[in-house]
Amino acid sequence: MIPYRTVEEASVALGRNLTWFEMVWFNYSATKSHFYVYCHTILLLFLVFSLAPLPLVVVELTGWFNQYKIQPKVKYSLSDMFRCYKDVMKLFILVVGTLQIVSYPSIQMIGIRSGLPLPSCLEIVAQIVVYFLIEDYTNYWIHRLLHCKWGYEKIHRIHHEYTSPIGYASPYAHSAEILILGIPTFLGPVIAPGHILTYWLWIALRQIEAIETHSGYDFPWSLTKWIPFYGGSEYHDYHHYVGGQSQSNFASVFTYCDYIYGTDKGYRIYKKLLHQQQIK
């Protein structure tokens, strides 16, 4: 709850007039508890999980961009994708939603705020970059650990049921994996806590990135074409294609860890052989 009764009182406390967005935020959240505002995270995740993969469903069903499909021999029907979505929603209700509610005390403890002033664009961008870097490095090692014999057979093999991933399969995993991989996602806000709006943007961008990575399509406008060391769908698709035997391409977002620790050698050999076949 914002500790000001009116916009004027908030302006006096801040020593300046509120921005238009701050006024909108004040009018919406001023009388709501911090817990109520935080619970919007569940709605945000539901919308991202439900809506972000929809364009990929249309692409898969219509075949409009088949030339960019990474594994063109694999086709998914509407019922296949809906079945995946239902499984993901079960996880969402039983695990993700519950986890968000249970984790609220930690949100209070680390100091994620929901009041005024709102963060500047520079602050938001800086924190999001830090969050991506922290998540990427820690996720790399946890993902690599999940590919050990016990971790794969007991937990991670469920995620690899889709050897040709689709957007809705991004969060398709064992409930234990959802909990374990939630640690890298939450670690950034723990180290550099900010505003709840920054936290929401981070959660949304991370999930959208994961959905794009599991899209099964290597579009010409993919970020991997513009951002150095960005993995993208084609890079991660190889990891799913190889399956349980894969000891390559563990990267969450960026590829530098795979390069530094030598876990992209199989992928590079595969790309070299593929290139040689194409020029023959």
The answer to whether residue 221 scores a pLDDT higher than 70 is yes
Q: Say what the pLDDT of residue 270 is.
A: 82
> pLDDT, tens digit, for every residue of 48-102?
999 999 999 999 999 889 999 999 999 999 999 999 999 999 998 888 888 888 8
At 26, is the pLDDT very low, low, confident or very high (cuts 50, 70, 90)? very high
Q: What are phi and psi of 217, to 5 degrees?
A: -130, 135
Global confidence as pTM: 0.93
pLDDT confidence bin for 246, thresholds 50/70/90: confident
Span 213-229, average pLDDT: 90
Reported as a single tens digit per residue, the pLDDT across 151-188 is 999 999 999 999 999 999 999 999 999 999 999 999 99
Query: pLDDT category, 2, cuts 50, 70, 90?
Result: confident
Mean pLDDT of 10-23: 91
- Tens digit of each residue's pLDDT (9 = 90 or more) over 116-127: 999 999 999 999
pLDDT of residue 5: 82
- Whole-number pLDDT of residue 1: 60
Q: Look over the chain and give the mean of its residue pLDDT values, rounded to a whole number.
A: 91
Structure-block tokens of residue 103: 């984790």
Looking at residues 221-240, what average pLDDT do you find? 90
State the SS3 of the chain: CCCCCCHHHHHHHHCCCCCHHHHHHHHHHCCCCHHHHHCHHHHHHHHHHHHCCHHHHHHHHHCCCHHHECCCCCCCCHHHHHHHHHHHHHHHHHHHHHHHHHCHHHHHHHCCECCCCCCCHHHHHHHHHHHHHHHHHHHHHHHHHHCCHHHHHHCHHHHHHCCCCCHHHCCCCCHHHHHHHHHHHHHHHHHCCCEHHHHHHHHHHHHHHHHHHCCCECCCCCHHHCCCCECHHHHHHHHHHHHHHCCCCCCCCECHHHHHCCCCHHHHHHHHHHHHHHHC
Neighbouring CB atoms inside 10 A of 174's CB total 17
Residue 225 pLDDT > 80, yes or no? yes
pLDDT at res. 247: 82
